[in-house]
């Protein structure tokens, strides 16, 4: 039986980096499901996007670290008798329950899932859309870029139809083919838009987060 020693070395190196990653260690210490939480946390604390009474839609929410952060912020800022915020998470993958988070399992690209999301919102306008969605990658750059672009375009369309006029959106994208087009679409959709690279995002990663604030009038 042949053994791919190169693959084993790569996996071992990744595991070593992961175990010794300070963000992984901090997430474990603070009870978060993934280090990715600190990307959203930094963006939120820098730009003050999310309030404790907000209606937030978390696209690509599994394993749930962003939803955990949203829920903790919601709980910390709400007193008795105040209007409650709402958190709705959507993902194709399963997610272990989080108290106070409404989870919908399914493909955001399916009309039935979008209808379920709209039903959960029950007519409430959305204050913030956060998207950590990423497609299954094929390794073919042009095809993968098209998949990423399609997902973000769907999220932007959802934001245009459901966000409050002064609402915000955060979406993970990747440098490469299609990136400039997504930047333009954020500029066309929002009054204020900018790319942001959080400290918890690995230097070698092509990911960057596009942030849009305040919808442009149609």
56-92 pLDDT, tens digit each: 999 999 999 999 999 999 987 665 545 589 999 999 9
Give the pLDDT mean for 179-205.
94
Q: Which residues are identified as catalytic? A: 172
CATH value at residue 209: 3.40.50.150
d(CA 175, CA 196): 12
**126 shares a domain with 67:** yes
**108 shares a domain with 20:** no
**129 shares a domain with 100:** yes
Q: Please check the confidence at residue 17 and state whether its pLDDT lies above 70.
A: no
Using CB atoms within 10 Å of the CB of residue 42, give its burial: 0 to 12 exposed, 13 to 18 middle, 19+ buried.
middle
Closest alpha carbon to 170 in 62, 60, 93: 60
d(CA 124, CA 185): 25
Integer-rounded Cα Rg, in Å, for the chain is 18
**109 shares a domain with 59:** yes
Residue list, annotated binding site for S-adenosyl-L-methionine = 64, 66, 91, 107, 132
**61 shares a domain with 164:** yes
Residue list, annotated binding site = 64, 66, 91, 107, 132
Q: Please check the confidence at residue 168 and state whether its pLDDT lies above 90.
A: yes
Q: Which helix H or strand E contains 33, and what residues bound it?
A: none
**112 shares a domain with 18:** no
**43 shares a domain with 19:** no
87 in helix, strand or coil? strand
Name the pTM for this structure. 0.88
What's the pLDDT score for residue 83?
A: 54
Range of the domain at 7: 1-30
**100 shares a domain with 18:** no
Closest alpha carbon to 127 in 199, 22, 48: 48
Instruction: Pick the more confident residue, 48 or 137.
Output: 48
What's the pLDDT score for residue 157?
A: 96
User: What is the domain count for the chain?
Assistant: 2
CA angle 76, 132, 136 (to 5 degrees): 150
**80 shares a domain with 14:** no
Tell me whether the omega of the peptide bond preceding residue 63 falls within 30 degrees of 0, making it cis: yes
**121 shares a domain with 14:** no
**180 shares a domain with 90:** yes
DSSP assignment of 53-67, as one string? T-EEEEET-TT-HHH
Closest alpha carbon to 40 in 51, 31, 49: 49
**97 shares a domain with 186:** yes
């Amino acid at each position: 039986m042949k053994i791919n020693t190169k693959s084993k070395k790569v996996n071992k190196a990744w595991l070593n980096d992961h175990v010794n990653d300070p963000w992984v260690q901090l997430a474990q210490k603070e009870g978060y499901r993934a280090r990715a939480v600190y990307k959203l946390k930094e963006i939120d604390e820098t730009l003050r996007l999310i309030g404790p009474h907000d209606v937030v839609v978390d696209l690509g929410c599994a394993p749930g670290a962003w939803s955990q952060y949203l829920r903790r912020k919601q709980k910390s800022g709400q007193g008795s008798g105040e209007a409650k915020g709402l958190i709705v998470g959507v993902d194709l993958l399963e997610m272990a329950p989080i108290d106070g988070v409404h989870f919908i399992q399914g493909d955001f690209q399916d009309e039935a899932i979008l209808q379920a999301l709209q039903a959960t919102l029950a007519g409430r306008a959305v204050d913030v859309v956060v998207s950590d969605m990423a497609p299954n990658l094929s390794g073919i750059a042009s095809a993968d870029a098209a998949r990423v672009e399609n997902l973000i375009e769907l999220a932007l369309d959802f934001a245009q139809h459901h966000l409050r006029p002064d609402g915000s959106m955060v979406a993970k994208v990747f440098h490469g083919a299609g990136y400039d087009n997504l930047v333009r679409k954020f500029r066309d959709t929002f009054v204020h838009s900018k790319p942001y690279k959080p400290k918890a995002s690995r230097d070698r990663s092509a990911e960057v987060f596009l942030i849009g604030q305040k919808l442009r009038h149609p």
